[in-house]
Amino acid sequence: MPKPPATPVRSKRTGTQLTPEAIIDASLRIAARGSADAFTIRRLGEELGTDPTAIYRHFRDKDELLLSVADRTLGEVLDSIPDGLDWRDRLRALADGSLAVALKYPVVASAMASRTTRRPNEFRVVELILGMVTEAGLHGADAALHYRMVGDSLLAYVGQRAAYLLFDPEIRASDESAWKVEYRLVDRQGFPHITRLSAELAEVSQDRIFHVRVEALITAIEQRAAAIRKS
């Protein structure tokens, strides 16, 4: 559990009080610059203009800080979802918001792809998805299973996209060129399917993949709900 509020420490650089919220803000500023050291206590101390050890007065360790920062980013995702949408469009908006925030703070999203914050905004996301699948017509074990399918699928995909951004640009460029270079040069006899679809493979975009995955989640929920109604 998070530590109880500590007595605020004043930043030497800015003269402002050091609070948990200020530390989270600093972590997000570093993360938004594409840095992989957003949770390095030394780096945070530099960003805040304070003794790095002062951060431990508010967070037990770097992991507790990461979970708190991640929960703040979930709040950004939730804030991006308009009111008044049906369950399908809420799921699409959740997916779009999750990806946008993950690409904004890649070090956070990549670290949290297989974690749980156990904090208020995560509870709100879980409640949101459970509401979606319930509205679609799923209940009990079906609702729980399909909630996990949606949540885990989104976390996995946006975490993968975020982790990719942390590689050096040269490495990313080399990987991205593979579909137009190496995959077009494979042996035709050994890899007939790749050869036949090499042009199409090179044209597939990450955004298109994401769209198809989200629509597949919606279809899976619809199909299960339809099966229940027929049973």
Q: What is the pLDDT of residues 192-225, one digit of tens each?
A: 999 999 999 999 999 999 999 999 999 999 999 9
Kindly state the DSSP code that residue 184 receives in the 8-state scheme: G
Could you tell me which CATH class the domain 61-230 is placed in?
mainly alpha
* Full pLDDT tens readout for the chain, 231 residues: 445 555 455 544 444 589 999 999 999 999 999 877 778 899 999 999 999 999 999 999 999 999 999 999 999 999 999 999 999 999 999 999 999 999 999 999 999 999 999 999 999 999 999 999 999 999 999 999 999 999 999 999 999 999 999 999 999 999 999 999 999 999 999 999 999 999 999 999 999 999 999 999 999 999 999 999 999
Could you tell me which CATH class the domain 1-60 is placed in?
mainly alpha
212: its two tokens: 């198809």
Domain boundaries, the chain: 1-60, 61-230
105: its two tokens: 């703070």
Query: Which residue, among 43, 16, 13, 18, has the nearest Cα to 29 in the 3D structure?
Result: 43
d(CA 181, CA 202): 9
**Which amino acid appears at position 212 of this protein?**
V
